[in-house]
Structure 1
Amino acid sequence: MNFLALLLGLATERMLTHLFHLREFRWLDPLFDRHLRRLRKARSWLAVSLTLVLTLLLVAPVAAASLLLWDELLRIPYFLFAVVVLLFSLGPRDLDDEVEDYLVALEAGDADTQRQVAEELLERSPPESPHACHEAVERAIYTQANNRMFGVIFWFLLLGPTGAWAFRVVDLMRHRVEVRAAGKGAGDTMVGEAPAAMGEAVRTLHGVLAWIPSRLLTLGYVLAGNFEEAMSGWRNGGREVTLPFSEGTNEVVARVGIAASGRMTLDVGNAAEALDRIRAARSLVMRTLWMIWCPVIAVLTLYDWLI
């Protein structure tokens, strides 16, 4: 049933773009800010524990509703509830649309729109250099695919709407940490503080939840793209060994994605070649979703029904 809800949710999402602003859950920002303030002087184990408690409190209503609806009316209410929760757990913004906006701005030479879209994808101010900005956007496409789609889908299939919403809550907290670290918040003394001072617990919890789906996503990139280049990029460990846990995960996903795209030799400093690389990144993400993992999930679901 979760697979059917997933297909309906993904199909319905394209018709509800006018509601995407509701998925940002800005009303949770003050709660997250208060939580981050509490983490300022907390030890690491206590900070992780407090973050986990807050997550459980926010997830509890969805879990309770799922249990109440599970056996009602042939599970039809549960099915509809699962679709709604999934729709509001994806995103918040549509990755495909944002990449298209960036490509259109790049083709038109609209530097202001490029930087605006890049800031949304990177969750921080983009580099001043066009070369560095294009490269950062390309990497962000591969990593944001996990934050916005694959992580949600994985936990939805594993734990239903409760899992999808749990991942979204933690990702919303992680996003808030990035916003504060980048100094983009307003009217709060926390703006610009280092993430290590208040948000490492959030990043750690997000990294734990994102680890398995990120590896499955990376495997999807390998299967949907240039297999040899991708496997070479995966086997040859890079700088992720020197990075914090969550950042190391993003490094692996981005490196393998770029290798799998088959466009590594193109120069992102050239506008035309940058367009090609970014288009290839978007195409690889969509192929991985629709041509690799949706069929795999369908086969596993059918096997479960037959057995």
Structure 2
Amino acid sequence: MAPARDVAALRPRGRNPVSLIALLLALAAERGLTHFFHLRELRWLDRYYDWAARTVGRGGQGAVAAALAALVVPVLPLVIADRLLGSHLLGVPQLAFATLVLLVSFGPRDLADEVDDYLAALERGDRGEADRRAKELLESDAAGRGNSLDAAVEEAIFVQANNRIYGVVFWFMVLGPAGAWLFRVSDLLRRRAAFEASREGAARHPFGLALARVHGWLAWLPARLAAFSYAVAGSFEDAVGNWRVAVDRAASDPLDRSERLLARVGAASLQPSLADVDPGRLDVATARGAWRIVGRATWLWIAAIALLVLVGEVA
């Protein structure tokens, strides 16, 4: 029995049936818990960033090391809790813990709700409300964009799906609950850094740039898996062609590269289905089509994860 236990100990924390069940439960529960999403804003992390920026992030030297240290502090308690829970009581406490961490790590806002609200505003012809909803997706001002707003929202849906869903799922399956939480914390801290720089009208501090760089590293692989799933879920040939273009025009920042790849591949995977759409309905069709591609891609992720878990159990 010892060799079997040794093999089990080497298995990644996320790759087991409990994690698959937790993932399915979290994805299913998320749509029914919209009234509690304000709890995912995690405002205390803003204060934590302010403290970290004043202490470990004061100097320009060693900014990446400071960013990594700032991420370890909120993640370490989850690592300890996950280890302590283990497989006690048939794994039920571990299942509940993993599901709760996933629910907190998704988001912070629900992408499906934001897309639905944006589409509803367009259907009513309420351009002001549509611009406000688009701003939530774009995380920037939507007013004055004109016809380019349709394409910007379409691309934002593909980018946000990786940031809010796929990145969390990937690191959950690799490192367990601590991995999902690590991805969300890195995202929230780098957003706080960007907000502070924008509010002060100054360039981002090296500590903030380092946080963005670390998040870009964490997003790199799930972004490429997400882009591939968009290609499979839509027009594969068009998506692959735009993948090559995105690589040729790659930005220097890892997060920018990933987001540009997601936007280009996602938009290309949808393009053939928009050929016969009435130009007056193109804004609705692009957003709805982008969300449809994301929905298909999510099912592909679930199927692939289930297959990996099954193969791992058989092995």
Q: TM-score, normalised by structure 1?
A: 0.90
1:119 maps to a residue whose letter is K
Structure 1 residues 119-169: Cα deviation after superposition (integer angstroms, max 9, x where no partner) = 221222225122222222111111110110000000111111010001110
Return 5+ residue gaps in structure 1 as ranges: 184-190
1:133 maps to a residue whose letter is L
Provide the C-alpha distance between the structure 2 equivalents of 1:53 and 1:197, rounded to a whole number of angstroms.
14
The aligned counterpart of 1:10 is 27
1:305 maps to a residue whose letter is E
- 1:212 equivalent to 2:229? Answer no
Closer/same/farther in 2, CA of residues 255 and 11 from structure 1, 3 Å limit: same
The aligned counterpart of 1:53 is 69
**Structure 2 residue corresponding to 1:195, chosen from 204, 211, 231:** 204
Closer/same/farther in 2, CA of residues 67 and 19 from structure 1, 3 Å limit: same
1:27 maps to a residue whose letter is W
Provide the C-alpha distance between the structure 2 equivalents of 1:267 and 1:201, rounded to a whole number of angstroms.
45
1:152 maps to a residue whose letter is V
Closer/same/farther in 2, CA of residues 238 and 73 from structure 1, 3 Å limit: closer
Secondary structure at the counterpart of residue 250 of structure 2: helix
Residues 263 and 277 of structure 1 are in contact (CA less than 8 Å); yes or no, is this contact kept in structure 2? no
Corresponding residue pairs, total: 298
Provide the C-alpha distance between the structure 2 equivalents of 1:37 and 1:239, rounded to a whole number of angstroms.
39
Shift of 1:71: 3.3
Closer/same/farther in 2, CA of residues 267 and 22 from structure 1, 3 Å limit: farther
Greater shift, 131-140 or 200-209, is seen at 131-140
Residues 220 and 254 of structure 2 are in contact (CA less than 8 Å); yes or no, is this contact kept in structure 1? no
Secondary structure at the counterpart of residue 262 of structure 1: helix
Residues 146 and 217 of structure 1 are in contact (CA less than 8 Å); yes or no, is this contact kept in structure 2? yes
Shift of 1:23: 0.5
Return 5+ residue gaps in structure 2 as ranges: 1-17
Closer/same/farther in 2, CA of residues 70 and 173 from structure 1, 3 Å limit: same
Structure 1 residues 161-192: Cα deviation after superposition (integer angstroms, max 9, x where no partner) = 01000111001112223333443xxxxxxx33
Shift of 1:304: 1.1
- 1:28 equivalent to 2:36? Answer no
Could you say what the CA RMSD is over the residues aligned between the two structures, in angstroms?
2.3
The aligned counterpart of 1:187 is none
Closer/same/farther in 2, CA of residues 198 and 56 from structure 1, 3 Å limit: closer
Greater shift, 114-123 or 223-232, is seen at 114-123
Closer/same/farther in 2, CA of residues 182 and 123 from structure 1, 3 Å limit: farther
Question: Identity over the aligned pairs, expressed in percent?
Answer: 42
Closer/same/farther in 2, CA of residues 240 and 280 from structure 1, 3 Å limit: same
Shift of 1:107: 2.0
Provide the C-alpha distance between the structure 2 equivalents of 1:36 and 1:136, rounded to a whole number of angstroms.
32
Closer/same/farther in 2, CA of residues 196 and 223 from structure 1, 3 Å limit: farther
- 1:178 equivalent to 2:194? Answer yes
Shift of 1:103: 1.0
Provide the C-alpha distance between the structure 2 equivalents of 1:269 and 1:61, rounded to a whole number of angstroms.
53
Residues 118 and 126 of structure 1 are in contact (CA less than 8 Å); yes or no, is this contact kept in structure 2? yes
The aligned counterpart of 1:130 is 146
The aligned counterpart of 1:222 is 231
Q: TM-score, normalised by structure 2?
A: 0.88
Residues 159 and 262 of structure 2 are in contact (CA less than 8 Å); yes or no, is this contact kept in structure 1? yes
- 1:296 equivalent to 2:307? Answer no
Shift of 1:269: 12
Secondary structure at the counterpart of residue 65 of structure 1: helix
Shift of 1:39: 7.7
The aligned counterpart of 1:111 is 127
2:241 maps to a residue whose letter is S
Shift of 1:242: 3.5
Q: Which structure is richer in relative contact order (CA contacts within 8 A, separation 6 or more)?
A: 2
Residues 22 and 98 of structure 2 are in contact (CA less than 8 Å); yes or no, is this contact kept in structure 1? yes
**Structure 2 residue corresponding to 1:282, chosen from 282, 288, 291:** 291
1:104 maps to a residue whose letter is A
Provide the C-alpha distance between the structure 2 equivalents of 1:263 and 1:196, rounded to a whole number of angstroms.
43
Provide the C-alpha distance between the structure 2 equivalents of 1:51 and 1:269, rounded to a whole number of angstroms.
48
Provide the C-alpha distance between the structure 2 equivalents of 1:198 and 1:265, rounded to a whole number of angstroms.
43
Closer/same/farther in 2, CA of residues 125 and 299 from structure 1, 3 Å limit: same
Closer/same/farther in 2, CA of residues 265 and 9 from structure 1, 3 Å limit: closer
